[in-house]
Amino acid sequence: MEIREARVSDWAPVAALLAELGRPDVRGRDDEETHRLSFDAYLGRPDTVALVAVEGNEVIGFVDLEFRQRLNFGVPEAWIPDLVVAEGARSRGAGKALLAEAEERARARGCFALELESAVWREQAHAFYLREGMTHSGAAFTKVLGGVEDWPPRPR
């Protein structure tokens, strides 16, 4: 398995993984090209990193990392908006490798913390994060303001 930076050509498998995670599924929609262009732009931003886990020639995992400045901290915080491994590829080390590479990138940027959010029903994911040395440090609350039909995700 290889962990590498995501490429523009990774859009299709990344979109599928994000849908598997419960994010809005944009595949085949009229606005899919808009989302692909957003992915392309995201890859070029100086405050983000997107990584994929590749097995053979198949993208089996994805993590994106954003570096954000918090007001009362002199150094940035690393935040993971998405971390997903394809259901059929779980428990083989891809998630661990993606999280480790994200942590390494955050440390290299001088971040004070690495943070992510996880849906309340993803208990196996929570157990994984705890095993990887993360702590359950908070809760997230969402008020949908519009623009998406299928958010927030629901347990399947």
pLDDT in tens, 124-156: 888 888 899 888 888 777 777 877 666 666 665
Domain membership of residue 27 as a residue range? 2-131
Q: How far apart are CA 24 and CA 18, in angstroms?
A: 8
Cα–chain-centroid distance for residue 24?
14
Count of structural domains, the chain: 1
- How many alpha carbons lie under 13 Å from residue 36 in its C-beta half-sphere? 14
The pLDDT, as a whole number, for residue 155 is 61
| Sheet order of strands, 58-68 included | 2-5, 48-55, 58-68, 77-85, 114-116
The pLDDT, as a whole number, for residue 156 is: 55
In a domain, 143, yes or no: no
Is the pLDDT at 29 greater than 70? The verdict is yes
Return d(Cα 106, Cα 8) in angstroms, integer: 22
Residue 20 placed within a domain? yes
Domain presence at residue 144: no
- Tokens (6 digits) for 10: 């990774």
Question: Which has the closest alpha carbon to 75: 49, 114, 34?
Answer: 114
pLDDT tens track for 70-122 = 999 999 999 999 999 999 999 899 999 999 999 999 999 999 999 998 777 78
Q: Does the residue 73 lie in any domain? A: yes
In a domain, 78, yes or no: yes
How many helices and strands, by DSSP H and E, does the chain display?
4, 5
Cβ atoms of 16 and 58 within 8 Å: the answer is no
Please report, for the domain that includes residue 32, its CATH number. 3.40.630.30
149 lies in a domain? Answer: no
Residue 152 lies in a domain: no
